[in-house]
Amino acid sequence: MFKGQKITPEHNKVYRYETGERHKYLGHFYTLSVMQTTAEPSVRIQGENMIMEVNDPGNRKQKELALDMWYREQAREVFVPILAEAIVKAAKYCLQMPQLRIYRMLDRWGSCSPKSKILILNLELIKVPVPCIEYIALHEMIHFKYPSHDFGFNSALGNLMPDWKQREDFLNTYYPI
């Protein structure tokens, strides 16, 4: 499942957002290439490169904001279909699509509020491999049926994703929060 992953932990890495830096997206490293533009700032993946176009390549804050905005856009595009897939997978539990919020959280990958039907996913998930995102999404969705980590919760998670522990261990080992 995780073959080919370059598994190097990024413990509180400080970025300068300069050409040559390596940034993660969906579990893969991409080499940043910063270019000047007169258009709106943008980021895109091209092969093994992450191309960033900004008005002032010397402005660290502008580059940080451009990448943050891009990660947020990508997170919504990636997370929503994964949540929809989790709902289908857990059809027997009659789950519905919650209101999704994406925040940068320091101490958890996700959380949910069953009463208000809100699910929060950590923006940093966009940097981890898709199987780990699938695990967190399903884990949080099951909490809408089983709010605590009780027998029902563990049974549902094990039935719907038999390899959940492998995914959790990989996430905790290589992407610790």
**Residue 119 in domain:** yes
| 4 part of a folded domain | no
Between helices 151-160 and 130-142, what is the axis angle to 10°? 140
Q: Is residue 75 part of a domain?
A: yes
- What's the sign of the alpha-carbon dihedral 90, 96, 102, 107? negative
18 pLDDT exceeds 70? yes
Residue 139 lies in a domain: yes
- Torsion sign, CA atoms 113, 138, 84, 69: positive
Whether 141 is in a domain gets the answer yes
**How many domains in the chain?**
1
Residue 102: CATH number of its domain: 3.30.2010.10
pLDDT of residue 50: 99
Helix ranges, the chain (H)? 60-89, 130-142, 151-160, 164-174
**Three-class secondary structure of residue 169 per DSSP:** helix
Give the largest Cα separation in the chain, rounded. 57
Whole-angstrom Cα distance, residue 44 to residue 100?
A: 24
CA 74 to CA 86: how far, in whole Å? 18
Is residue 12 in a domain? no
Q: Is residue 3 part of a domain?
A: no
User: Structural domain of residue 87, as residue ranges?
Assistant: 22-174
Residue (of 22, 31, 111, 122) closest to 72 by Cα position: 122
Q: What is the pLDDT of residues 24-83, one digit of tens each?
A: 999 999 999 999 999 999 999 999 999 999 999 999 999 999 999 999 999 999 999 999
Contact between 144 and 133 (Cβ < 8 Å): no
**pLDDT tens digits for range 98-154:** 999 999 999 999 999 999 999 999 999 999 999 999 999 999 999 999 999 999 999
What is the mean pLDDT of the segment spanning 152-169? 98
Q: Is 134 a domain residue?
A: yes
Considering the entire predicted model, what is its pTM?
Answer: 0.92
CB-count exposure of residue 125 (10 Å: 0-12, 13-18, 19+): buried
